[in-house]
Amino acid sequence: MYEKTVAAITDLVNDGTVPGVSYAFIDGSQVRRGLYGAEALLPSYEPLKANQLYDVASLTKVVGTVNVIMQLITAGKLALTDRVCDYLPQWQDNRVTIRHLITHTSGITGYIPHRNKLTAVELHAALLGLHVGENFERKMVYSDINFIFLGWIAEAILGKPIQTLITEMVLQPLGMNESTFQPADPTRCVPTEWSATRGLIRGAVHDPKAFVLKSRCGSAGLFSTLNDLVTFEQAMLSDSDLPMTQQQKATLLADQTPLHHQGRSFGWALLQVKGPTPHLCIWHSGYTGTCLVLDLQTHQGMVFLSNRVHPTAPNEAFLARRNAIIDVYLAEKASYVSAEVKAD
């Protein structure tokens, strides 16, 4: 299975688009894992080793923050209709709700001068001083700010930083014991960018806002392994009520934006699976070169981990190639499912 997808993945390395890739395909209880290429090119070549920690960037949103928010909703401590200003009094616009944040329809915009040079306290104040623009509710505009706010709201309710909450409410219950926000050994981490200001970024978060906000950032900061992300996907594909309830998992397969036509669910993006039984699946990517795809209907998924920002960012050519790999995977998966149905 998945020979075409594996070929497309290895081509990414062979033509120099990324240094290396770790990947897994999940089919119910069956998992096929693989790795190919290098984990570092600078300062010297290092072959990719099994089950290294990746800076998964924005996968932090869907692995961590979404599930903390959903658990708060289940517990009756939060509602999608709650206003942001009820939890973050410094935020002045009373129109923005939890639903707007978790579907990226808040319209929050504005420019923060010298953002990456601010302290955590200064950045916190600057973000809460932004405003709502013309895209409010009408358009889905992906923004880390939405999930930074969600993390602060969870902290306001439970009294702990969002990264601590993710560890206690998601990672530990699922047995994702290698995942962390503070890697103890940088050599266990696949490096990201060779930065003019920070040098080789390895074992420290790449995202600039997460680097400043540290434990109070719900948009990025998680380091995880292939095995742990397989564990996460298997939990999402199972009948378990972790990391969210079965009913909440079902709601992920619908457009949850306020106007219900912007292709976004709770945190996750929606993607059409073609074939004999067309349906929706969910997916999310991370800036560093990571991606999760979940077909909740067929109980299948893909984990894709690369460090496409190594040695230098942004490597825009990677994006179209990643999307093409997802398309190949979905088509190959659909053909496999169709063949199984015919065999039955």
Which tens digits make up the pLDDT trace of 205-239?
999 999 999 999 999 999 999 999 999 999 999 99
Q: Are 24 and 34 in contact (CB under 8 A)?
A: yes
Exposed/middle/buried for residue 247 (C-beta within 10 Å: 0-12, 13-18, 19+): exposed
What CATH number does the domain containing 154 carry? 3.40.710.10
- pLDDT band, residue 338 (cuts 50/70/90): low
Question: For residue 275, what pLDDT is reported?
Answer: 80
Please list the residues that pair with 27 across neighbouring strands.
30, 300
Residue 175 — very low, low, confident or very high, per pLDDT cuts 50/70/90?
very high
Residue percentage of the chain with pLDDT more than 90: 95
Write out pLDDT tens, residues 284-309: 999 999 999 999 999 999 999 999 99
Q: How many CA atoms lie within 13 A of 174 on its CB side?
A: 30
Q: Which residues of 73-87 are buried (b: 16+ CB within 10 A; e: fewer)?
A: beeeebebebbbbeb
Instruction: Tell me what pLDDT residue 344 has.
Output: 47
Q: Fill in the amino acid letter for 112.
A: I
| Residues 285-311 as b or e (16 or more Cβ within 10 Å = b) | bbbbbbbbbbbbebbbbbbbbbbbbbb
d(CA 265, CA 145): 17
The answer to whether the beta carbons of residues 73 and 232 sit under 8 Å apart is: no
Q: For residue 224, what pLDDT is reported?
A: 99
Q: Across residues 326-336, what is the average pLDDT?
A: 91
Q: Write out pLDDT tens, residues 113-132.
A: 999 999 999 999 999 999 99
Helix (DSSP H) and strand (DSSP E) numbers for the chain: 12, 13
Length of the chain: 344
pLDDT, averaged across the chain: 96
pLDDT at 1: 84
Domains in the chain, number? 1
Q: Are 70 and 169 in contact (CB under 8 A)?
A: no
Q: Is the pLDDT of residue 335 over 90?
A: no
Which pLDDT value is given to residue 276? 82
pLDDT beyond 90 at 252: yes
Which domain does 209 fall in, by range? 3-341
Question: What are the beta bridge partners of residue 199?
Answer: 195
Q: Which residues pair with 143 in a beta bridge?
A: none
Identify the pLDDT of residue 282.
98
Residue 43 to residue 41: CA distance in whole angstroms = 6
Distance CA(86)–CA(15), nearest Å, equals 51
Residues 6+ apart with CB under 8 A from 268: 62, 66, 252, 282, 283, 284, 294
pLDDT digits (tens, 9 = 90+) for 76-110: 999 999 999 999 999 999 999 999 999 999 999 99
Q: Where are the beta strands (DSSP E) in the chain?
A: 20-27, 30-40, 46-47, 54-55, 108-109, 131-132, 194-195, 199-200, 223-224, 269-273, 279-286, 290-295, 300-306
Q: What is the pLDDT of residues 18-70, one digit of tens each?
A: 999 999 999 989 999 999 999 999 999 999 999 999 999 999 999 999 999 99
**Residue 281: pLDDT over 80:** yes
pTM beyond cutoff 0.85 = yes
More confident site: 342 or 315: 315
Q: What is the pLDDT of residue 343?
A: 46
